[in-house]
Structures are given as C-alpha cells and as structure tokens.
Amino acid sequence: MINYFSKYKFIFYLCNLILIFLYLFPGSILGWFLFNDLSLQPQITPDFIVSTNHLYAYIVLSVIGFLTFRKNNQFNILSIYLIFLSILLEVLQYFVPNRSFEFPDLFGNLAGVIIAIILFYFFKKNENFKN
C-alpha cells in the first residue's frame, strides 16, 4: 500500500488540483451537487474550535503526500509546501466571490497538516528504531 502512492505520484497531484479547485470555486460545488444550492456547504461533523471539513481535507491530503514522498528531504519540503498551501488558499478565498477568509478554516487547515506531520514523524521514528 505504501509503495502504491510512491509509484503513482499523480494521485497526490490530482488531490492537490481538486483541493485548489474546491477552495477557489465561487460558492460550494459540493453544496451544488448535494443540495442544488451553491450557497450551502455540506458539514461532515459539527465544528468545534476549528473547521472540521478543512481539518479532514488537509489530513487526507497530507497523508497521501507523506506516503508519496517518503524520503527525509522530501518530507521536510512537503511539510513546508502543505503549510504554505493551507495558508495561501485560505487567504485567496478573501478575493473570491461568495467565499470568505475565516480563522477557524485556517486553523483547521494548519491543524490537519500538523496532525499528519506528527503522525508521520512518530511513524518514521518507530520505523528507524526497528531497523
């Protein structure tokens, strides 16, 4: 399973493109598909302090990215890229019609990336300990 992602990097790139499209589309494409209303955003679970939709999206993207790029130098570069992407996409929503910049969304983005970084840090540490 782990080698599957490293062989097919297009999966990570495709997930990036889908995420960028969903973030920068004026309105909610998922709301349009599910509720036939661009102004409604589907909610997976209730928000707590952070936006859970954003948290889940960035955990999934980060895990796919870390499974795709497993080397140490790639891990560091990918971590910086994901943090930068999470900030940039949220800031760009300020300029997109029918979208808005919100701090809970930004914190959800960053929390998703940080959770994945911590998980993979301990995974790599445990992997090195076994060898």
C-alpha dist (Å) from residue 53 to 14, 27, 74, 109, 123: 19, 15, 27, 9, 25
Stretch 19-33: mean pLDDT, rounded?
86
Give the contacts of 36 (CB within 8 A, at least 6 positions apart).
none
For residue 116, the one-letter residue type is A
Look at the chain and count its residues. Answer: 131
Q: Is 8 helix (H, G, I), strand (E, B) or coil?
A: coil
Q: What is the pTM of this model?
A: 0.86
Whole-number pLDDT of residue 6: 65
**pLDDT over threshold 80, residue 10:** yes
Secondary structure (3-state) at 81? helix
What average pLDDT does range 94-104 have in this prediction?
90
